């Protein structure tokens, strides 16, 4: 596990400074505190910071092939490297280390730019082929490891985090479309970044730079393959196959030369990992949980019950987050606006785990693969709702609007109001509406700028993924879209940055690509049976987990942001988003922002997710000195596209 960075001049007569690569690596020392490695040769420079996990003595990077014509740095783990090595040795390749890194260079020699098809793991790879004067960048299939790049003024710079690119002074002009999408999602979907010139390499893609020309292409594309015969296959057969793949996936991720543990919330996904770890290993398991003083946000009792059941060495901690101290740190770790508030508990959980282990398994991916989100149940309920008599459909929104605002965790009024918001829309639009933070109508009042080109509907991010799976049942489409957007650009970003902030490697067994490919064949009626979420996964775990774990409602990893914004952070919010600061920023209308603050603090409307996004963005803007020259001040933005679909 490492952080990587590098640069390529398209003019081969120019040389990359070793000091520049060191400076880039210095910005991500938290990703790899154990070692540094630098390679420069004329127009190219590669660098890495290492967190030693496998082959502690011999796994330093960069690593080259026998004649030093191919060099590689990479961030992540290749779990099947021991299986790949004998085949490569049989073809005449000689290994100088026992590390997983060295497998990459020899695979490239055999298979060229398709080498990543043979890898099972999480990775962001940079490889220099000296003979062909070619730089190859590759990102793992699901996007577990990040990789940013920028092509600007005759050079390509890249790195594990956006801050590495800033060392080489790329322009900091804000991409207005990225801002527009951030305000809709509270994260920025790839391939965009907050800066115009910087991009994210998409999951499952390879970028090749040769003689000044960049090409980007997928090497893996998930395919929904729910065939007619899938729906007549016995449930027991699915259960058996799923159980075996789960065991295999966990077994691979126990490979480590350093202490290893598991995040445990007491929910189905993390409990599944503990159960499978107990099945495939005789080692005593270390498990980690955190809780909160607010009981509606505290899951420690559930985690402790699972820990007792499996007799783990369990460590937990009740935290009272200091948001005033933590927020500026989070902004620095994320580099671009990111407003998923569950990053806070992941930060504290990673801090706790790192006191005892260097590697932890996490349950990310279970909700997307096995239909665990409330929005999937909402889709099913919306189908029923649309069949109600018109009089009842007209009455329901008025009744829901009268519900008093509650700031408890996932309160009934919050869920009811969000449901009504998208219930009468087409399913694709409804799915987006349930996730949307700022609507177009709200943005029209919020924006204090115009753009040269019309801003595109943020729904297009979902729409391009829906277009790739129109043949599948609707529930499967919703899951697919979340796997392709929400998972890599929110969930995995959050876990990567917060764990790496503490130099902790987190592995995601539920995102093994073999398991993902299997999940894409599961019929929707085995994913969501009635309103029972994760039906097949729970069937597979019925003989492994306590009944209480399987029957408890999904809680989510949340913090009491609505209450904080009314109490602990009340003055802080007013100060950070003062009229003076907002006018200097020139992006948002101060009067509208302050109206949102008042309405939330007076408990008229729960605007917590909106305000958290604005708060994070403002702190980010101050910290990164982002350029706002592309914008012209105006009373409101007039460049909004019309919705493509109307309400049913």
- What DSSP string describes 106-171? HHHHHHGGGGGGG--EEEEEEEEETTTTEEEEEE-SS--S--EEEEETTEEEEESSHHHHHTTT--
Task: Decide which of 54 and 535 is more confident.
Answer: 535
Say how many CA atoms lie within 13 Å of 320 toward its Cβ. Answer: 3
Classify domain 2-218 at the CATH topology level: 3.60.20
Is the model's pLDDT at 518 over the cut of 50? yes
- Position 295 scores a pLDDT of 66
Is the model's pLDDT at 413 over the cut of 90? no
Give per-residue pLDDT as tens, 586-616. 999 999 999 999 999 999 999 999 999 999 9
Q: pLDDT category, 416, cuts 50, 70, 90?
A: low
Q: pLDDT category, 50, cuts 50, 70, 90?
A: confident
Give per-residue pLDDT as tens, 98-154. 999 999 999 999 999 999 999 999 999 999 999 999 999 999 999 999 999 999 999
- Position 411 scores a pLDDT of 61
What superfamily in CATH does domain 228-371+478-551 come from? HUPs (3.40.50.620)
Is the model's pLDDT at 52 over the cut of 90? no
Q: pLDDT category, 320, cuts 50, 70, 90?
A: confident
25 is catalytic: no
The distance from CA 216 to its chain's CA centroid, rounded to whole angstroms, is: 21
Spatial distance between the Cα atoms of 499 and 497, rounded to a whole number of angstroms: 6
- Position 1 scores a pLDDT of 62
Spatial distance between the Cα atoms of 488 and 189, rounded to a whole number of angstroms: 8
Give per-residue pLDDT as tens, 161-193. 999 999 999 999 999 999 999 999 999 999 999
CATH topology agreement for domains 2-218 and 228-371+478-551 = no
Let me know: does 195 contact 621? Beta carbons within 8 Å: no
What average pLDDT does this structure show over 11-15?
95
Radius of gyration of the chain (CA): 24
Residue spans of the domains in the chain: they are 2-218, 228-371+478-551
Lowest mean pLDDT among 385-389, 455-459, 514-518: 385-389
pTM for the structure as a whole: 0.93
- Position 628 scores a pLDDT of 53
Q: pLDDT category, 159, cuts 50, 70, 90?
A: very high
Percent of the chain with pLDDT over 70: 90
> Strands 505-507, 359-361: parallel, antiparallel or unpaired by DSSP?
parallel
What average pLDDT does this structure show over 615-630?
81
Residue owning tokens 């694709």: 428
Let me know: does 249 contact 512? Beta carbons within 8 Å: yes
- Position 417 scores a pLDDT of 65
Query: What are the structure tokens assigned to 138, written together?
Result: 């590759």
Percent of the chain with pLDDT over 90: 74
- Position 229 scores a pLDDT of 74
Is the model's pLDDT at 407 over the cut of 60? no
Look at residues 494, 476, 248 and name the one whose alpha carbon lies nearest to residue 369.
476
Is the model's pLDDT at 639 over the cut of 60? no
Give per-residue pLDDT as tens, 197-242. 999 999 999 999 998 899 999 999 998 888 777 778 899 999 999 9
């Amino acid at each position: 596990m490492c952080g990587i960075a590098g640069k390529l001049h398209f003019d081969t007569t120019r040389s990359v400074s070793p000091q520049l690569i060191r400076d880039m690596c210095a910005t991500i020392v938290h990703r790899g505190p154990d070692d540094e490695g630098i390679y420069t040769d004329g127009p190219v420079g590669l660098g890495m910071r290492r967190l030693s996990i496998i082959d502690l003595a011999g796994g330093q990077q960069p690593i080259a092939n026998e004649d030093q014509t191919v060099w590689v740095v990479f961030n992540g783990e290749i779990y099947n490297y021991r299986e790949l090595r004998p085949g490569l040795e049989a073809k005449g390749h000689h290994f100088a280390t026992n590390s997983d890194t060295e497998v990459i260079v020899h695979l490239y020699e055999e298979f060229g730019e398709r080498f990543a098809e043979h890898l099972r793991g999480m990775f962001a790879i940079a490889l220099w082929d000296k003979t062909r004067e070619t730089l190859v960048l590759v990102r793992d299939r699901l996007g577990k490891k990040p990789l940013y790049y920028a092509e600007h003024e005759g050079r390509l710079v890249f790195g594990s985090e956006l801050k590495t690119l800033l060392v080489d002074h790329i322009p900091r002009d804000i991409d207005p479309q990225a801002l527009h999408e951030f305000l809709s999602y509270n994260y920025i979907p790839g391939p965009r970044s907050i800066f115009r010139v910087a991009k994210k390499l998409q999951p499952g893609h390879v970028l090749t730079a040769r003689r000044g020309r960049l090409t980007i292409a997928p090497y893996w594309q998930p395919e929904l393959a729910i065939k007619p015969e899938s729906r007549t296959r016995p449930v027991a057969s699915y259960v058996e196959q799923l159980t075996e793949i789960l065991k295999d996936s966990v077994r691979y991720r126990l490979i480590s030369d350093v202490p290893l543990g598991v995040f445990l919330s007491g929910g189905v996904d993390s409990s599944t990992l503990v159960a499978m770890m107990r099945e495939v290993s005789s080692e005593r398991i270390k498990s980690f949980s955190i809780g909160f003083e607010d009981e509606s946000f505290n899951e420690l009792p559930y985690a402790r019950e699972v820990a007792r059941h499996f007799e783990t060495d369990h460590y937990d901690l009740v935290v009272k987050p200091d948001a005033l101290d933590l927020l500026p740190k989070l902004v620095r770790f994320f580099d671009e606006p990111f407003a998923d508030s569950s990053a806070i508990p992941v930060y504290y959980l990673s801090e706790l785990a790192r006191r005892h282990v260097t590697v932890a398994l996490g349950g990310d991916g279970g909700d997307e693969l096995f239909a665990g989100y409330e929005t999937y149940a909402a889709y099913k309920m919306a189908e029923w709702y649309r069949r109600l008599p018109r009089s009842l459909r007209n009455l329901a929104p008025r009744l829901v609007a009268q519900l008093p605002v509650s700031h408890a965790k996932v309160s009934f009024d919050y869920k009811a109001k969000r449901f009504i918001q998208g219930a009468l829309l087409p399913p694709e639009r409804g799915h987006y509406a349930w996730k949307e933070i700022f609507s177009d109508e709200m943005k029209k009042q919020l924006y204090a700028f115009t753009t040269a080109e019309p801003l595109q509907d943020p729904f297009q991010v979902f729409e391009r993924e829906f277009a790739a799976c129109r043949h599948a049942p609707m529930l499967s489409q919703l899951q697919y879209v979340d796997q392709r957007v929400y998972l890599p650009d929110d969930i995995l970003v959050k876990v990567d940055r917060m764990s790496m902030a503490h130099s902790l490697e987190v592995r995601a067994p539920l995102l093994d690509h073999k398991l993902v490919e299997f999940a894409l064949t599961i019929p929707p009626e085995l994913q969501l049976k009635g309103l029972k979420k994760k039906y097949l996964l729970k069937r597979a775990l019925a003989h492994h987990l306590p009944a209480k774990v399987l029957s408890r409602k999904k809680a989510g990893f949340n913090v009491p942001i609505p209450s904080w914004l009314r109490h602990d952070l009340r003055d802080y919010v007013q100060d950070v988003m003062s009229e003076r600061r907002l006018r200097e920023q020139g992006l948002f209308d101060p009067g509208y922002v302050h109206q949102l603050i008042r309405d939330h603090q007076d408990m008229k409307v729960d605007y917590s997710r909106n305000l958290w996004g604005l708060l994070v963005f403002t702190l980010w803007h101050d910290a990164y000195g982002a350029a706002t020259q592309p914008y012209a001040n105006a009373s409101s933005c007039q460049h909004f596209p019309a919705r493509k679909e109307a309400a049913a």
